[in-house]
Amino acid sequence: MPFVNVGKENSTEIDLYYEDHGEGKPVVLIHGYPLSGTSWEKQLPVLLKAGFRVITYDRRGFGRSSQPSSGYNYDTFAEDLHKLVNHLGLKDYALVGFSMGGGEVARYIGRYGSKNVSKAVFIASVPPYLLRAEGNPDGVDQSVFDGIQQAIAADRYAFFTNFFKDFYNTDVFLGKRVSQDAVQASWNVAASSSPIASYACVPTWHEDFRKDLDGINVPTLVIHGDADRIVPLNVSGARTAKLVKDAKLVVVKDGPHCITWTHSEQVNTALSDFLQGREISVAREMQAV
């Protein structure tokens, strides 16, 4: 299996698992919490068919990557991504982040620039700044994140069960746009993640990415569901689209957090059109914000 080494903890190597498929312009897909690169299964065949080289990888602590006890912050996540990109020798590549993965996209460009980055895509992503604070009154209260960590510390398996209800809006879409089997598969991946990573990643969700977004000077697409209960549209995607110059915002009507699964057709159409340089029609935008 392909791995890239990104560091060492005592006597243990820290390796990231990745997959590299197809030919053409590279597209790097960065997964969300608490999943792995396998969560892109509805996007992978579409992008391969469109003629892209598609790279997925598992963030440290998740999937088949190493599970160290440290490094769960966006500076390290961006550094890990940078080492993967250099290992593969990528040029003119697009970065696509879902949920937590959008943080990597923002911090990577903020830290390393966009010299070799062709395009940026944020799907249901955490930027620009989720925490309610002075100068950010519409954010989420700190107590919400504290409560999540308390629930994970008490019983992370029970937390994941409840988390995925809002991840997919199962009260609306179970048996329609998502099966119980798919929800269970996500739970299985989450359960295999590092307990330390499961807990330590929560504070990263409210990282302040506003300065990182200021540095994005490549074509940018933001895709977000207007029924997202995990990362609300009005404090995330809608604001990111306003902060990044000339960014395109696609709002998926009634879309939950995991629109990459429940509304994959809309997501795939917008994503494929954007990456191929085609205009995204008003109809495909679903609605404007």
Can you give the pLDDT at residue 288? 38
Dig out the tokens for 147 from the structure: 């409560």
Distance of alpha carbon 235 from alpha carbon 242, whole angstroms: 11
Can you give the pLDDT at residue 281? 54
Is 99 designated active site? yes
Is 228 designated active site? yes
Distance of alpha carbon 213 from alpha carbon 125, whole angstroms: 12
Distance of alpha carbon 240 from alpha carbon 289, whole angstroms: 12
Candidate list 58, 212, 228, 273, residue with the active-site label? 228
Can you give the pLDDT at residue 284? 40
pLDDT tens-digit readout, 51-99:
999 999 999 999 999 999 999 999 999 999 999 999 999 999 999 999 9
Candidate list 99, 186, 194, 198, residue with the active-site label? 99
Can you give the pLDDT at residue 91? 96
Domain spans in the chain, listed from the N-terminal domain onward:
3-130+139-285
Distance of alpha carbon 108 from alpha carbon 97, whole angstroms: 11
> Span 3-130+139-285: which CATH code?
3.40.50.1820
Exposure b/e, 89-109, CB count within 10 A at least 16 = b: ebeebbbbbbbbbbbbbbbbb
Q: Which residues of the chain have a pLDDT value below 50?
A: 282-289
Distance of alpha carbon 257 from alpha carbon 186, whole angstroms: 14
Distance of alpha carbon 39 from alpha carbon 140, whole angstroms: 26
Question: Largest alpha-carbon pair distance within the chain?
Answer: 55
Candidate list 193, 257, 263, 273, residue with the active-site label? 257
Q: Where do we find the tokens 């540095």?
A: 215
Q: How wide is the angle at C-alpha 180 spanned by C-alphas 59 and 44, nearest 5°?
A: 45
- Measured distance between the N- and C-terminal CA atoms of the chain, rounded to whole angstroms: 43
Can you give the pLDDT at residue 280? 78
